[in-house]
């Protein structure tokens, strides 16, 4: 299939690869996979190209863990999907010698419902930057992907600092918001060394230019050294919810040491009655405290331990598998909602455990796994 090709979710495309003259080096992993233009039965995907010592021949596409086809370029359209259904997608690269790379980041998405005029409320994307930029862009010298205790979900977040314009920002990929009556953008942030009055913005672009829809000022909206969560609601009565909409976080401070850390960004489309024109954005913000056992992944002693803990499949419908190295002793497992509220949950003592999540409502949750070495957080989505 050519770059930008189309294939169905249930079809298999055969392809032939030559021996490549003894080459045994696989391509690098594809990066920054993102999903856009999700409909009732299709979705567009795109990613950054891999490199290879000889040359990349193409990319394999996997949907819900199964191979569905290959393309030569760095974009494709997945067809034949089921309405109102959750999917996960990732890609790998291959060369002429049949060497296949590791997987890109996995992206979860849900197709739209056929009912209600083609509109259904649902999460369009949820990004915590654990596997890369996840569809968001690096604005420049005053923006970076950060790893450490200032991240809310897991160990990574996006740091923006100073006031260098676009260089102090990170920008989302495009979303088709045209069917929604309103859209929510929820995120967590942490501020460091922001002086009173210094602020950062959330901006929106409907294709015609950037508009600031929320501004958060130190000393008024937030204080340093704590985690905060905020939600912005844009309605179609006041904003053009377009088919190529983007969001941006931009810092407006005064020095490199003035930093904002953005994490767990969730964008949701809503299908309620059309709001009246003139209704401005609705902005809510609250401070969130991290429970004692709901700590950063950075609490663990070794980098190897961080990556050895597995929670799968993700997203999951009824069961979640917890895989922890045999030499790591588990004391307990605690379940938290997306806003950090502790939910009733049974502890586990086995390092390979199947967890029943069938009774949970669809949405985002966290497992806080207490071990002898520290506490590990893992995010998962219940379908």
Residue 357 predicted with pLDDT over 50: yes
Strand-pair partners of 329: none
306: three-class secondary structure by DSSP? helix
* Top mean-pLDDT range of 135-144, 180-189, 265-274: 135-144
**pTM (two decimals):** 0.53
For all residues of the chain together, what is the average pLDDT?
81
Greater confidence (152 vs 263) lies with 263
**How many other C-beta atoms can be found within 10 angstroms of the C-beta atom of residue 235?**
22
Mean pLDDT check: name the lowest of 4-8, 91-95, 119-123: 4-8
Q: Which pLDDT value is given to residue 163?
A: 94
Tell me the HSE value of 171 on the side-chain side, using a 13 A CA sphere. 14
Q: How confident is the model at residue 17 (pLDDT cuts 50, 70, 90)?
A: very low
Confidence of residue 303 (pLDDT cuts 50, 70, 90): very low
Q: How far apart are CA 27 and CA 100, in angstroms?
A: 7
**Within a 10 A sphere around the Cβ of 359, how many other Cβ atoms?**
7
CATH 2.60.40.10 fits 5-112, yes or no: yes
> Is 126-288 assigned to CATH 1.20.140.10?
no
- Is residue 339's pLDDT more than 60? no
Q: What is the pLDDT at residue 48?
A: 93
CA distances from 292 to 210, 224, 286, 311, 349 (A): 40, 19, 19, 21, 20
Distance, in Å, from the CA atom of 54 to the CA atom of 23, rounded to the nearest integer, reads 8
Rounded Cα–Cα distance for residues 1 and 95 (Å):
15
Give the 3-state secondary structure percentages of the chain, helix then strand then coil, rounded to 5: 5, 45, 50
CB 170 within 8 A of CB 141: no
Q: Where are the domains of the chain?
A: 5-112, 126-288, 297-382
CA atoms within 13 A on the CB side of 376: 27
Same fold for the pair 126-288 and 297-382: no
Between the alpha carbon of residue 328 and those of residues 34, 155, 301, 348, the distances in Å are 34, 19, 12, 13
Please compute Rg for the chain using Cα positions.
21
Q: Is 298 helix (H, G, I), strand (E, B) or coil?
A: helix
User: What count of residues does the chain have?
Assistant: 383
Q: Which DSSP helix (H) or strand (E) runs through 308?
A: helix 303-308
Task: Specify the 3-state DSSP secondary structure of 296.
Answer: coil
Write the pLDDT tens digit of every residue in 186-244.
999 999 999 999 999 999 999 999 999 999 999 999 999 999 999 999 998 889 999 99
Residues of the chain above pLDDT 90, percent:
42
Give yes or no for residue 342 having a pLDDT over 80.
Answer: no
For residue range 259-275, list pLDDT tens digits in order. 999 999 999 888 764 44
Q: Residue 163 and residue 279: Cα distance in Å, rounded? A: 30
pLDDT digits (tens, 9 = 90+) for 87-114: 889 999 999 888 999 999 988 888 776 5
Three state DSSP letters for 8-24: ECCCCCCCCCCCHHHCC
- Is the backbone of residue 351 left (phi > 0), alpha (psi -120 to 50) or beta? alpha
> What is the CATH T-level fold of the domain 297-382, as seen in this structure?
Immunoglobulin-like (2.60.40)
d(CA 249, CA 260): 10
Query: What one-character-per-residue DSSP string does 48-75 give?
Result: EPP--SS-EEEEEEEETTEEEEEESSSE
233 CB-near residues (< 8 Å, 6+ apart): 182, 183, 184, 270, 281, 282, 283
């Amino acid at each position: 299939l050519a770059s930008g090709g189309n294939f169905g979710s249930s079809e298999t495309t055969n392809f032939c690869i030559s021996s490549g003259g003894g080459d045994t080096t696989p391509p690098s992993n594809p990066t920054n996979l993102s999903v856009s233009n999700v409909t009732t039965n299709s979705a567009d995907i795109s990613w950054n190209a891999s490199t290879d010592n000889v040359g990349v021949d193409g990319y394999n596409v996997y949907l819900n863990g199964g191979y569905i086809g290959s393309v030569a370029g760095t974009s494709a359209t997945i067809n034949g999907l089921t309405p109102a259904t959750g999917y996960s997608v990732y890609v790998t690269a291959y060369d002429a010698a049949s060497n296949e790379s590791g997987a890109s980041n996995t992206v979860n998405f849900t197709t739209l419902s056929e009912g209600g005029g083609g509109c259904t409320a649902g999460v369009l994307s949820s990004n915590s930057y654990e596997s890369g930029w996840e569809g968001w862009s690096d604005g420049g010298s005053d923006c970076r992907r950060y790893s450490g205790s200032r991240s809310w979900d897991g160990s990574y977040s996006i740091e923006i600092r100073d006031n260098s314009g676009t260089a102090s920002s990170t920008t989302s990929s495009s979303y088709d918001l045209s069917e929604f009556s309103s859209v929510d953008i929820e995120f967590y942030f942490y501020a460091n060394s922001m002086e009173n009055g210094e602020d950062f913005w959330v901006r929106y672009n409907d294709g015609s230019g950037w508009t600031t829809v929320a501004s958060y000022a130190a000393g008024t909206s937030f204080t340093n050294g704590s985690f905060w969560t905020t939600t912005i609601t844009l309605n179609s009565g006041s904003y053009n919810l377009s088919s190529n909409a983007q969001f941006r976080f931009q810092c407006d401070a005064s020095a490199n040491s003035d930093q904002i850390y953005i994490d767990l960004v969730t964008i949701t489309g809503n299908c309620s009655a059309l709001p009246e024109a003139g209704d401005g954005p609705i902005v809510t913000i609250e401070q969130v405290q991290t429970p004692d056992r709901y700590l950063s992944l950075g609490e663990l002693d070794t980098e190897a331990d961080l990556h050895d803990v597995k929670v799968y499949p993700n997203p999951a419908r009824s069961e979640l598998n917890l895989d922890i190295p045999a030499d790591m002793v588990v004391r307990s497992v605690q379940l938290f909602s997306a806003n950090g509220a502790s939910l009733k949950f049974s502890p586990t003592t086995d390092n390979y455990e199947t967890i029943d999540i069938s009774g949970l409502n669809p949405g985002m949750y966290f497992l806080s796994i207490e071990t002898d070495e520290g506490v590990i957080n893992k995010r998962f989505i219940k379908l």
